[in-house]
């Protein structure tokens, strides 16, 4: 983990209530796709945990949805704003288990961490398939970015306004066989994925957090292997340890 001052390079709206922010700063503490940052905002006691969409040697790309006062403030931050940020939090995804045809499933704001994961899997020689789930066409983002990586990308919308009508599991027949799966999104989607997948896989959980690095125990959950802190021992848990 690294704590530092990161500068806003860009902050733009890319879909309904969804923004893409790029920060400039030290990324050396990021070691795996699926990790997150925790941003301090003026006027708020708790930091805002945001999953990392992508990063390079000097910048971090974050995608977030405006759902409350904190993220609304974030959406109004201008270029060159400096943010006190904790970077390289969480365990991230283990890509060594992917096999040659992993399935990546992202729902809503669970889509962003799938992007860096997808890029890293391709670098290892895998050929991922990707399912992106949204409520409606206005909320769809990063479909073109995933397709540009050369992946088989399928989009679902609950109202049928774009892609396959229904939920992410309704696109499973389009994917065919897969070797492993990775997923991030809301709990109802997780339960559907859990019940409709026939391989092992990894789930990246979204929980309300206090400190973000394991000290306050506020995001602790029960697993088959004992209590785990989502911010420190997670956010990624493997399928076989999850208790619904």
Q: Where are the domains of the chain?
A: 2-89, 95-241
Pick from 222, 131, 142: nearest CA to 175: 131
Topology of domain 2-89 in CATH is Elongation Factor Tu (Ef-tu); domain 3 (2.40.30)
Q: Is residue 151 within 8 Å of 126, Cβ to Cβ?
A: no
pLDDT for 137: 98
Q: What is the pLDDT averaged over residues 135-163? A: 98
Topology of domain 95-241 in CATH is Rossmann fold (3.40.50)
Kindly indicate the confidence band of residue 207, based on its pLDDT and cuts at 50, 70 and 90.
low
Tens digit of pLDDT for each residue in 76-128? 999 999 999 999 999 999 999 999 999 999 999 999 999 999 999 999 999 99
pTM over 0.85, yes/no: yes
DSSP structural state of residue 77 = P
CA atoms of 72 and 110, how far apart (whole Å) = 19
Q: Is residue 164 within 8 Å of 156, Cβ to Cβ?
A: yes
CA atoms of 40 and 48, how far apart (whole Å) = 7
CB atoms within 10 A of CB 3: 14
Q: Is residue 19 within 8 Å of 38, Cβ to Cβ?
A: no
Q: Is residue 171 within 8 Å of 104, Cβ to Cβ?
A: no
């Amino acid at each position: 983990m690294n704590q530092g001052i990161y500068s806003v390079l860009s902050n733009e709206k890319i879909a309904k209530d969804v923004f893409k922010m790029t920060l400039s700063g030290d990324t050396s503490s990021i070691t795996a796709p699926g990790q997150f940052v925790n941003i301090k905002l003026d006027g708020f006691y708790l930091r805002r945990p945001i999953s990392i969409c992508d990063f390079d040697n000097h910048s971090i790309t974050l995608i977030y949805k405006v759902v409350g006062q904190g993220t609304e403030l974030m959406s109004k931050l201008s270029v060159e704003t400096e943010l006190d940020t904790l970077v390289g939090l969480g365990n991230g995804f283990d890509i060594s288990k992917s096999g040659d045809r992993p399935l990546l499933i992202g729902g809503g704001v669970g889509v962003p961490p799938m992007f860096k994961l997808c890029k890293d899997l391709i670098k290892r020689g895998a050929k991922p398939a990707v399912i992106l789930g949204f409520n409606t066409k206005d909320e769809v983002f990063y479909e073109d970015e995933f397709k540009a990586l050369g992946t088989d990308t399928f989009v679902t919308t609950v109202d049928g306004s774009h892609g396959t009508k229904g939920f992410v599991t309704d696109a499973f027949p389009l994917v065919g066989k897969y070797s492993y799966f990775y997923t991030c999104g809301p709990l109802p989607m997780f339960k559907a994925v859990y019940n409709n997948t026939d391989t092992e896989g990894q789930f990246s959980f979204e929980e309300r957090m206090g400190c973000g690095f394991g000290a306050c125990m506020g995001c602790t959950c029960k697993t088959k292997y004992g209590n785990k802190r989502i911010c420190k021992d997670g956010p990624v848990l493997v399928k076989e340890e999850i208790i619904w």
